[in-house]
Amino acid sequence: MRINKYISETGICSRREADQWIEQGRVTINQQPATLGSKVAVGDEVRVDDKLIGDKPPAIYIALNKPVGITCTTEAHIKDNIVDFVGHPQCIFPIGRLDKDSEGLILLTNDGDVVNEILRVENAHEKEYIVTVDKPLTNAFLNGMRNGVRILDTVTQRCKVTQVDNLTFNIVLTQGLNRQIRRMCAALDYRVVRLQRVRIMHIEIGNLKKGQWRNLTQKEVAKLVPPLESSALHKKL
């Protein structure tokens, strides 16, 4: 098994983070520095920062209604980081990001394979948001958001946009550009006042109160994990 997959399956980070740790020289296999191409065999001793890591723990999948002000990072030295905020007894990390000044649904897990599959651009998983802006909506603005806006040297993909009231709209994205909604609105001369994510794929925020988290239900996990396993199998074939 490749070293990054081995590390992610222990639940301490994603494969992407594991690659970074390997490049930083923080990982050893049998007391020898690991490289990105290293493989782990049965009986090998793998350490991160000289701490032994072992068997994969039970999978954890939770949904958090993130408040404004919490940063989606596993870096312990960053104030108000999401891991400390949740305070879960097991080592978990967020799937993707939600800006510090945004709120709403974010998933956390110890399953690195799920993280990698959900974040793959080609999988185009839906994420739904409710957005309030600083001035009345117009048809020109709504159509512009739907049809694509030039930001970050590209044009955003077409998306679903529905007006909620004079200042608020609902938007469903399959892209994940940096601060995408805020940049789209700014390009059309609007400023976001409030941005809340309410759905990721089939998982909805529902009645989850701000700052609270819950374990995903068996039904939610069943719909989340099998498609990802099937996707991975298909790629191997």
What CATH number does residue 31 fall under? 3.10.290.10
CA distances from 64 to 104, 110, 171, 180 (A): 7, 14, 20, 21
Does some domain include residue 232? Answer: no
- The answer to whether position 184 is within a domain reads yes
Same domain, 45 and 93: no
Residues 67 and 89 in one domain: yes
Round to whole Å and give the CA distance between 229 and 113. Answer: 9
Are both 87 and 188 inside the same structural domain?
Answer: no
Q: Do residue 93 and residue 207 come from a single domain?
A: yes
In this structure, the answer to whether residues 9 and 116 fall within a common structural domain is no
What pTM does this model have?
Answer: 0.75
Is there a domain that residue 168 lies in? yes
Say if residue 96 is in the same domain as residue 207.
Answer: yes
Q: Is the pLDDT of residue 115 over 80?
A: no
In the structure, what pLDDT confidence band is assigned to residue 27 with cuts at 50, 70 and 90? very high
Question: Which residue of the set 99, 134, 153, 189 is catalytic?
Answer: 99
What does the alpha-carbon distance between residue 69 and residue 99 come to, in Å, rounded to a whole number? 9
Residue range of the domain that includes 21: 3-52
Closest CA to 205 of 101, 64, 61, 83: 64
Q: What is the mean pLDDT of residues 8-33?
A: 90
pLDDT tens digit string along 180-197? 999 999 999 999 999 999
Which bin fits 200, alpha (ψ -120 to 50), beta or left (φ > 0)? beta
Q: What is the DSSP letter of 121?
A: G
pLDDT of 50: 87
Would you say residue 81 has pLDDT above 60? yes
54/28: higher pLDDT: 28
Q: Is 134 a catalytic residue?
A: no
Average of per-residue pLDDT values in the chain: 89
Distance CA(98)–CA(201), nearest Å, equals 15
Residues 15 and 80 in one domain: no
Please count the structural domains in the chain.
Answer: 3
> Domain with 70 in it: what CATH number?
3.30.70.580
Check whether residue 28 and residue 141 sit in a common domain.
Answer: no
- What per-residue confidence (pLDDT) applies to 55? 64
Contact status, residue 126 vs residue 202, Cβ threshold 8 Å: no
The amino acid at 96: G
Do the Cβ atoms of 114 and 224 come closer than 8 Å?
yes
The reply to whether 227 falls in a domain is no
155 within domain boundaries: yes
Assess if residue 84 is contained within a domain.
yes
